[in-house]
Structure 1
């Protein structure tokens, strides 16, 4: 089994945090989004992962590439890097990794997390992960006939289904998907100037391939600051309920209170502070004389005299002040 992860976008809605690192490498509950994503996929498919192919922009840099390869290796898989130099649509992005499209594959967009408890139907030609939503008009949705997907509808104005496509797909044959997407590119079949995966899926369905849904219990977005902080809180809650210990023994805690669920990484220093609930503190962050709840703080940050709620603070940032709901990026200083 192979996993293909398109992630060449810069994540402009999450700036300033994505000015220095790609959105999929931002940590949620102490672990990069893309790391959690591929772990969760591995848990659902319950098969050995041979390769994880990451599709990035060439400007991301060697450190990002090394970090991604390391994520794959932690799962016992080969990590491969491909480049998408122009944003020409979902089908174009996936085809950037066409050399890895063989055998069974999972395609997963790296800006979403999920919780699911279902058995992958590997007899189907394709499984599309979906989640029931209140407002399907904002999403691409699928229509069902029994357990078979009959239609893909993009942002329907009239109700046709409330099962939204979350951006994770299984294909029994990577070769079949590659051939269909290559057909789109060769014949310049676009919508809005972009090559779309859904056009390839529709062609496959018209040829009689069987598509079935994989329904997830939870779907968490990381599109902007507010929803990323919310996703961090929800993930902390799940991990806490699973009994996972999220407070490092290498943290220094002096006259401070931690209200769970919280993630406290190694070398964190807490002095005269109240942390939690729903707070992630990255490695070597120092917090003094502060109250923090429902917030995501990355590594090596220094926070003093703060009362933070719904805050997101980047790596190596320094904050000392009275602002409550803030979003400051890496190496920023607000004193």
Structure 2
């Protein structure tokens, strides 16, 4: 089985960070979005990955090859962003007749991934949501089989949202439906959607079984990213290293502090993730993500997302600062 991870999106909802950093590599609870996804799949037994890359794709490739040298990884370029359906179709020559596990590169789910992989049927991950209009939605019959899927319906007939995790046994049928949709210009919301191809498979008799996820984290926006960071910090029970206390500094767990950081005269936490080699002095930081090689001096940050190589002086309450930025708020 091969895992397909589309990571070609520009991440417009997380700009300015995604001007210089792929969304999948944004730090999260001491790791990255992509590493959390990949580690889960590796634990489930996946050893071969196919990445659909585009914007800043070379950074994705360098990260994967350096962090996971023992895995078999392929990289496919999506030059024009025409939707997830178009992205998946580009993997056809690599996957061929193998079963596949498709995992969207900006969502983190918690489920029994090994059980999903070993299922004799194709499966779609689902979770109940309050407002399903912003998601792909699945309808289920009395026997528990998925009878219909639709992308972002205006009038949903179900509150079961597709969470971005798909196990496909009939790979050639999926590719054929994707190709037919593109040939016939069948789009939803101006893009070729994976959901439409899944609906094509259902109409041609392919059986899809649902599986529920215990948690589903959407990392596509600043507010949900910070919320996810807080949840995962608590889950991983991360805290600063008690063997290396920071000068005149109070650490309020849970926090994650990278290697080589110089922190003093500050209060850090709760729910803070700081990248490697960052300097923090005379500052208060809570509920925030700070990138690597940044410099914070005399600032108060809460609910903030700060990129790498950022320099901030002065006082602030809530910021959304990209990489290579210098700000003096004094």
Alpha carbons of structure 1 residues 324 and 6: separation in structure 2 relative to 1, 3 Å: same
* Residue matched to 1:160: 157
* Residue matched to 2:132: 136
SS at 1:253's partner residue? coil
SS at 2:270's partner residue? coil
Give the deviation of 1:314 after TM superposition: 0.8
SS at 1:170's partner residue? strand
Query: Which of 323, 327, 333 lines up with 2:326 in the alignment?
Result: 333
In terms of mean alpha carbon deviation, does 138-147 or 85-94 score higher? 138-147
Deviations 1:229-277 (A, max 9, x none): 111111111111xxxx553578661111111111011111110111111
1:267 and 1:252 map into 2 onto residues whose CA distance is 13
Alpha carbons of structure 1 residues 67 and 314: separation in structure 2 relative to 1, 3 Å: same
Alpha carbons of structure 1 residues 259 and 3: separation in structure 2 relative to 1, 3 Å: same
On the 8 A contact 1:300/1:316 being kept in 2, the answer is: yes
1:92 and 1:249 map into 2 onto residues whose CA distance is 49
* Residue matched to 1:230: 227
Q: Where in structure 2 are the equivalents of 1:104-115 lying within 5 Å?
A: 104-115=99-110
* Residue matched to 2:307: 314
In terms of mean alpha carbon deviation, does 271-280 or 96-105 score higher? 96-105
Query: Which of 234, 242, 247 lines up with 2:240 in the alignment?
Result: 247
Deviations 1:193-225 (A, max 9, x none): 532222221221122211011211111112222
1:274 aligns with 2:271: no
* Residue matched to 2:91: 97
1:65 and 1:151 map into 2 onto residues whose CA distance is 36
Flag structure 1 segments of 5+ consecutive residues without an equivalent. Answer: none
Q: Where in structure 2 are the equivalents of 1:1-335 lying within 5 Å?
A: 1-43=1-43, 46-47=44-45, 49-57=46-54, 60=56, 62-73=58-69, 76-101=70-95, 102-117=97-112, 119-120=115-116, 122-145=118-141, 146-240=143-237, 245-248=238-241, 253-335=246-328
Alpha carbons of structure 1 residues 159 and 98: separation in structure 2 relative to 1, 3 Å: closer
Give the deviation of 1:112 after TM superposition: 1.1
Deviations 1:295-330 (A, max 9, x none): 000101111111110011111111111111111111
On the 8 A contact 2:306/2:321 being kept in 1, the answer is: yes
Alpha carbons of structure 1 residues 54 and 147: separation in structure 2 relative to 1, 3 Å: same
Alpha carbons of structure 1 residues 236 and 170: separation in structure 2 relative to 1, 3 Å: same
1:197 and 1:62 map into 2 onto residues whose CA distance is 25
2:101 and 2:86 map into 1 onto residues whose CA distance is 16
SS at 2:186's partner residue? coil
Give the deviation of 1:72 after TM superposition: 4.2
Give the deviation of 1:121 after TM superposition: 6.3
